[in-house]
């Protein structure tokens, strides 16, 4: 059985830190947590915007292709399949 003093943290880890110092440390830690979250949100926004643009471009291209095909009166493909 172990004898001796048990390791325990004090109730106040920074007994001489003022309220302003504690607030500053809390703000820095909060900023360090928010920075990756904001970066992930920005990346998600960019990816979503690009995906929507690609979908819209393809949809517009397919619509124009169908419109031209109807106007010309052909039911087959306008461009040969490669």
Q: How confident is the model at residue 2 (pLDDT cuts 50, 70, 90)?
A: low
- Tokens, residue 20: 């302003």
Q: Judge whether 21 lies within some domain.
A: no
Q: pLDDT tens across 14-46, in order?
A: 778 888 988 998 899 999 999 999 999 999 999
Entry pTM: 0.50
Per the structure, the count of domains in the chain is: 1
Whether residue 2 lies inside any domain: the answer is no
pLDDT band at 9 (very low <50, low <70, confident <90, very high): low
Q: How many whole angstroms separate alpha carbon 22 and alpha carbon 12?
A: 11
Write out the residue range of the structural domain in which residue 69 sits.
43-81
Q: List C-alpha distances in Å: 10 to 5, 13, 20.
A: 14, 6, 21
Higher pLDDT, 59 or 78: 59
User: Rounded to an integer, what is the distance from CA 50 to the centroid of its chain?
Assistant: 13
Q: Is residue 47 part of a domain?
A: yes
Domain assignment present for residue 72? The answer is: yes
Say if 54 falls within a structural domain: yes
- The CA-CA-CA angle for residues 47, 48, 52, to 5°, reads 120
Residue 10 maps to a domain: no
User: What's the confidence (pLDDT) of residue 10?
Assistant: 65
Q: Is residue 68 part of a domain?
A: yes
* Token pair belonging to 78: 């306008």
């Amino acid at each position: 059985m172990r004898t001796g003093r048990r390791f325990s943290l004090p109730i106040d880890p920074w007994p001489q830190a003022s309220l302003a110092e504690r607030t500053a440390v809390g703000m820095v830690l909060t900023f360090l947590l928010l920075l990756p979250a904001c970066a992930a949100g920005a990346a998600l926004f960019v990816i979503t915007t690009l995906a929507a643009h690609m979908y819209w471009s393809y949809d517009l291209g397919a619509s124009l292709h169908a419109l031209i095909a109807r106007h010309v009166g052909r039911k087959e493909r306008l461009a040969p399949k490669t």
